């Protein structure tokens, strides 16, 4: 593999990422790419969901949403330490992949059904891992970046998240408007 530059970190001593010698800047670009597409997909349907919830629940839409979001955040509070321990034991990549799939599960289901009960149950339970990708990505950054570059690396990841939320919301709004115009 060759000798590492002084700005690269050998991660052989970190159990979560042992055996992965990658340029730290390339790793940050990959993590930013993952963050962008994960949250782009997550926020693409958000402009459509309120109308669907309103049609399905009527006057009880705020209660249903509050119960789902409250249970999601409560479960996340209790699950995240276990997810962090799992990423230390099994490695960052597999736990990141599982947490990304689980946090996006309600959006996958919404593509196949319009049953809002299923959506809110998944949003309130399985998607409780919605904060796990952040913790694992930042752990990856901390494991592979020298301290002087960690802030810059984290800033790229946050910027990709912000860009995803902004562009997905605009795109979702345009798609929702186009759909309502054609129906």
- Which domains are assigned to the chain? 23-182 (1.20.1250.20)
The reported pLDDT for the residue numbered 1 is 44
Q: What is the per-residue pLDDT across 104-130, written as a single tens digit (0 to 9) for each?
A: 888 888 778 778 888 888 877 777 777
Tell me what pLDDT residue 171 has: 92
Its pTM stands at 0.74
CA atoms of 8 and 153, how far apart (whole Å): 13
Q: What are the start-end ranges of the H helices in the chain? A: 24-44, 49-57, 61-90, 92-103, 105-112, 116-124, 132-144, 147-182
């Amino acid at each position: 593999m060759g000798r590492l530059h002084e700005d690269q970190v050998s991660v052989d001593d970190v159990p979560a990422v042992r055996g992965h010698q990658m340029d730290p800047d390339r790793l940050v670009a990959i993590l930013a790419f993952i963050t962008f597409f994960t949250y782009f997909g997550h926020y693409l349907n958000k402009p459509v969901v309120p109308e669907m919830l309103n049609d399905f629940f009527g006057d009880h839409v705020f209660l249903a949403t509050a119960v789902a979001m409250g249970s999601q955040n409560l479960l996340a509070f209790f699950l995240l330490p276990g997810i962090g321990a799992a990423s230390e034991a099994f490695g960052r990549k597999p736990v990141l992949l599982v947490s990304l799939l689980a946090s996006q599960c309600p959006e996958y289901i919404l593509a196949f059904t319009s049953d809002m009960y299923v959506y809110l149950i998944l949003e309130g339970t399985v998607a409780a891992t919605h904060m796990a990708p952040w913790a694992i990505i930042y752990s990856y950054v901390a494991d592979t970046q020298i301290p002087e570059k960690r802030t810059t690396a984290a800033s790229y990841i946050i910027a990709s998240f912000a860009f995803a939320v902004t562009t997905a919301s605009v795109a979702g709004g345009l798609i929702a408007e186009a759909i309502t115009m054609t129906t």
